[in-house]
Chains A and B, each alone.
Chain A
Amino acid sequence: MSAKLLVPAIFAGLLAGCSAFGTHPAGHDFIVTAAKPGQLFVVDPRKMKVVSDFAIPGAHDSVSTIVTSPDGTIAYVLVNRARSIAGINLRTGKQVFRANLSAPGERVQCMAFDVTPDGKTLIVYEYRTHLGIDSYTVETPQFALFSTAAGAYAMPERTFPAPRRIQAVLARKDGRSFYALWPDVYEFDLRTGQLLGKRGLLHWGRADHSSADLSINSPASEPTGVFVAPLYSTLTGSGLPTGGVSATSLMTLNLHTGKLAYHDISRTAPPIFATILSPNHRWAFGVFDALFKIDARHWRIVKQVPVPHSFYMVDISSNGKEVYLGGNMCDIAVYDTSSLRQRGDIRLPGCGDQALVTPRIIERR
């Protein structure tokens, strides 16, 4: 982002901040993001300012998924080529939790994780490879459950086998089970690891649609507790060209109720990388080379504006007035949700790449 955008951005930010304060006495939102080589940031969108800039120990130039504790005090960040999870206190910057997943002779990489609603357990989905002296052996993936109180040398409290290709782990809000996504929507009992249910996702069984394609880039579901992600498929049928047309749909998975639904939003839409639902469930916002506003009652794209560069992730403020675009490059772009006008752009100090980092929203009093 150029310097010339920054000045009006800050000005606009102050105005936006005031209005947010007015409607939200309980506390206000902060954005948690990270960037290479291993920085963790807390950003105040009211002030359009980075308020904390912490170094994550042992990140080894690799940061990706961020999961924040429900009380907003700790960020768990996947670092070290997905081989370690660092829990960083967001006030002090101290590492309060560390799980180094790999061990000599065994390479373990976390492909997805989440924290339970009580903040006590991390559910970590692990790919594991035995590293022999002269050959590797791929092992069955597993879910490993860590106590968040385990400190600096956390070891799993229990593990159980898992399917391959899981893209996201999403804790259910009742704290009793969790969902694991792709190629099916699996539900596992948190305590026993027992498979409670399985619904088709790749093979979603929708007439006229090909199988679905999904690449989950962001597991964020705040503030609604409804996870939303774009799905792609080919639509065939009478009146459509042979070979069909590509269709974009959104899946919603309600983490309170378990309700899974698909909504077709467009044919031949440009790609969307990540989506988020507004607090009142009225709109969804999607991002990639453009910012999309989607009517979440009639499920169609109602507005689309170009963005300064590709963004991979989108979050929404708890009052629903702003969306924050992040991931890729080193800025967070702030957009007004009603007009889709850009309100500002917050540059991260050091300008490290956010790459596939998943910024999250926390609320602070």
Chain B
Amino acid sequence: MARKVSSIMARGTLVVALAGGALGIGRGALAAQVPTGLAEIRTHCAECHREVSPGHFDRISEERKTPEGWAMTIFRMRQVHGVQLTPQAEAAIIQYLSDVQGLAPAEVRAGRYALERRPNVPDLKLPDNLNVMCGRCHSVARIVLQRRTPAEWLKLINFHVGEWPYLEYQDGSRDIAWWRIASKQLPAKLGRLFPLRSAAWRAWQHRPHASLAGQWIVHGETPGHGAYYGTALIRRTAADRYGAHYQLRYADGARFDGASDAIVYTGFQWRGTGTLGGQSVHEVYFASADGARIRGRWFLIKHAEIGGNWAAARATGRAEVMAVIPSALRAGTTQRVVVVGRALVGRVNLGPGTQTTVAAHKPYGLILKVSVAAQATPGYRTVRIGGVSTHDLLAVYQHVDRLQVQPAFAIARLGGGTLAAVDAQFQAIGYTEVAGANGKTTAVRLGAMPVTWSVVPFDAAAAQRGDARFAGTLGQDGLFVPSGGGPDPRREFSDNNTGDLFVVATHKSGRGSVVGKARLVVTVQRWINPPIY
């Protein structure tokens, strides 16, 4: 199911982007006509969802959601209610509904992690009993990313029980009067927390969509690989559709180029499909209101848990330092440092204990050669280039005092059959402790450190079961790949290859080694994998 829903969006993106591009349709040309999406709704949806007034359909017009949310609903209209749609019609409807009944940027913020498919992020905490009532089968992000009238929330709750009557019998429901609470209390509560009508949406709804075309500077980080940087060229191919080309490199010089086709929904939600570093990826990015920045996460189409952060800013504009790669320099070393930024001219100074020469000017910033004195004081450095300065983007350290493995708690899932395993990517963030003026020590974040990785059983029971041997393998890039699913005859009771482990990172330096660890639970397959978990 999952694969189907996400491929709908991916396919729609490509097909429509190409068609739109080839025909050269612009906004103006369509302005006087009925939008394609609206026409498609009249054709495919109005048979059941009455058009009560022009453009206003029962149910459909009484809720607002993200493009992923619309895609999931339409997926159900096809699966459960037999609606037949071409990919083009579906893409047009999703785009239209996301524009006329989408969410404003402020309304997306809290649930963004779910759209970005960030792995191992704890679910949001909603007020009162909402997590107990509604957060058992799916994330509450699914709820936070919708807006409805109380009557519409009530209809959704009716749909839940009508579709899954066993809901009330499950652990977590059967000890409470689930239906009474859900039907009597929640509609008003949800309608208040997540209302159909909001000031944020009123303000955003009719704003002209900023064009994202142009030259961009990009930086980001792929857990397991490190920081990357470079440029992007984004071209507009049709209204709200773009083609992008990326010229990127990792800090070690490895190329990480790519290209994508994207639809921008609701004026700010970039959904792209393409390649990065030779792998097929989805991009879930968000543009700022003025169209000057784009941030988000890309991830592998087949493994949403593997991906990286993405930040882009216009190549022209006020001088600005965006990132320093690497973000920490050890005392007594000389190395190449990339300062990612815009309009960086003038004298470069990385603060006490450093000596810097500019090796090259690049479209994405500066390449420096930096020597750090052996006795340099550890701590953050202010980076000054010409008239601009930034704090906290660069640190100097003598040694790593502490390692924090991220995520601190991860879940990996066994694969099997047609289901891909869910991997877990770890990284070890280093910290150095520095004495502050008040006598307290503060931790200075150094970023991902080179470490050696290993797994040990979480407890005696896990040791006895041999979890560390059976559950999967942890690579030296911090990527845990689970074993195959299904009963394993080598295990007691032919158990699944599940496991409960500690993932251990060890960083060696002159002063000995520093260790950090995280818990990893390897569990069974997840049979469905919708765009909003």
Binding site for B on A (CB under 8 A): 82, 107, 109, 111, 127, 129, 131, 133-138, 164-165, 167, 182-183, 202, 211, 213-215, 306, 309
- The reply to whether A134 and B59 contact each other, CB–CB distance below 8 Å, is yes
- The reply to whether A107 and B162 contact each other, CB–CB distance below 8 Å, is yes
Q: Which B residues are in CB contact (< 8 Å) with A183?
A: 174-175
A167-B169 contact in complex given A134-B49, A202-B175, A211-B175, C-beta closer than 8 Å: yes
Main secondary structure of the interface of B (DSSP, over half): helix
- The reply to whether B58 and A134 contact each other, CB–CB distance below 8 Å, is yes
Specify the chain B residue showing the minimal Cβ separation from A308. Answer: B493
Give the B interface residue count (CB, 8 A).
22
Interface 0/1 of B151-166, CB less than 8 Å to A: 0000100110111010
Contact of A134 among B48, B161, B175 (CB under 8 A): B48
Cα-based distance from A164 to B493 in the complex (angstroms): 39
- The reply to whether B174 and A135 contact each other, CB–CB distance below 8 Å, is no
- The reply to whether B48 and A138 contact each other, CB–CB distance below 8 Å, is no
Specify the chain B residue showing the minimal Cβ separation from A110. Answer: B165
Interface 0/1 of B49-69, CB less than 8 Å to A: 110000000110000000000
Question: What is the distance, in angstroms, from B166's C-beta to the closest C-beta of chain A?
Answer: 8
Interface 0/1 of B130-173, CB less than 8 Å to A: 00000000000000000000000001001101110100110100
Cα-based distance from A213 to B174 in the complex (angstroms): 8
Contact of B159 among A82, A135, A211, A213 (CB under 8 A): A135
A111-B48 contact in complex given A134-B59, A135-B158, A138-B162, C-beta closer than 8 Å: no
Cα-based distance from A167 to B171 in the complex (angstroms): 13
Question: What is the distance, in angstroms, from A231's C-beta to the closest C-beta of chain B?
Answer: 12
Asked if B179 is an interface residue, CB under 8 A from chain A, the answer is yes
Cα-based distance from A107 to B162 in the complex (angstroms): 8
Q: Which B residues are in CB contact (< 8 Å) with A109?
A: 165
Question: What is the distance, in angstroms, from A94's C-beta to the closest C-beta of chain B?
Answer: 30
Contact of B163 among A136, A167, A182, A211 (CB under 8 A): A136
Cα-based distance from A286 to B108 in the complex (angstroms): 50
Q: Which B residues are in CB contact (< 8 Å) with A309?
A: 493
Q: Which B residues are in CB contact (< 8 Å) with A133?
A: 48
Specify the chain B residue showing the minimal Cβ separation from A108. Answer: B165
Cα-based distance from A213 to B484 in the complex (angstroms): 35
Q: Which A residues are in CB contact (< 8 Å) with B155?
A: 135-136
Most chain A beta-carbon contacts within 10 A, residue among B59, B163, B174, B183:
B174
- The reply to whether B48 and A131 contact each other, CB–CB distance below 8 Å, is no
Specify the chain B residue showing the minimal Cβ separation from A136. Answer: B162
Binding site for A on B (CB under 8 A): 48-50, 58-59, 155, 158-159, 161-163, 165, 168-169, 171, 174-175, 177-179, 183, 493
A-B contact count (CB 8 A): 58
Q: Which B residues are in CB contact (< 8 Å) with A306?
A: 493
Question: Which 6 pairs between the two chains have the least Cβ-Cβ distance?
Answer: A129-B162, A136-B162, A127-B165, A134-B48, A138-B161, A135-B155
Cα-based distance from A82 to B178 in the complex (angstroms): 21
Cα-based distance from A202 to B155 in the complex (angstroms): 29
Question: What is the distance, in angstroms, from A121's C-beta to the closest C-beta of chain B?
Answer: 23
Question: What is the distance, in angstroms, from B150's C-beta to the closest C-beta of chain A?
Answer: 14
Q: Which B residues are in CB contact (< 8 Å) with A82?
A: 165
- The reply to whether B183 and A138 contact each other, CB–CB distance below 8 Å, is yes
- The reply to whether B161 and A215 contact each other, CB–CB distance below 8 Å, is no
Contact of B59 among A135, A164, A211, A214 (CB under 8 A): A135
Cα-based distance from A138 to B155 in the complex (angstroms): 9
Question: What is the distance, in angstroms, from B289's C-beta to the closest C-beta of chain A?
Answer: 35
- The reply to whether A182 and B174 contact each other, CB–CB distance below 8 Å, is yes
Contact of A165 among B159, B163, B174, B493 (CB under 8 A): B174
Q: Which B residues are in CB contact (< 8 Å) with A134?
A: 48-50, 58-59
Contact of B165 among A111, A213, A214, A215 (CB under 8 A): A111
Q: A129-B158, A214-B174 are in contact. List 7 more A-B contacts (CB 8 A).
A: A135-B59, A136-B159, A138-B179, A138-B183, A202-B174, A211-B175, A215-B169
Cα-based distance from A20 to B162 in the complex (angstroms): 48
Cα-based distance from A136 to B157 in the complex (angstroms): 9
Most chain B beta-carbon contacts within 10 A, residue among A127, A138, A211, A214:
A138
Cα-based distance from A309 to B48 in the complex (angstroms): 48
A sample of 19 inter-chain contacts (CB < 8 A) reads A111-B165, A127-B165, A129-B161, A129-B162, A131-B162, A134-B58, A135-B59, A136-B155, A136-B163, A137-B158, A137-B162, A138-B162, A138-B183, A165-B169, A202-B174, A202-B175, A213-B171, A213-B174, A215-B171
Cα-based distance from A202 to B162 in the complex (angstroms): 24
Most chain A beta-carbon contacts within 10 A, residue among B49, B165, B174, B177:
B165
Contact of A136 among B158, B169, B174, B177 (CB under 8 A): B158
Question: What is the distance, in angstroms, from B465's C-beta to the closest C-beta of chain A?
Answer: 14
Specify the chain A residue showing the minimal Cβ separation from B59. Answer: A134
Contact of B179 among A107, A164, A213 (CB under 8 A): A164
Q: Which A residues are in CB contact (< 8 Å) with B161?
A: 127, 129, 138
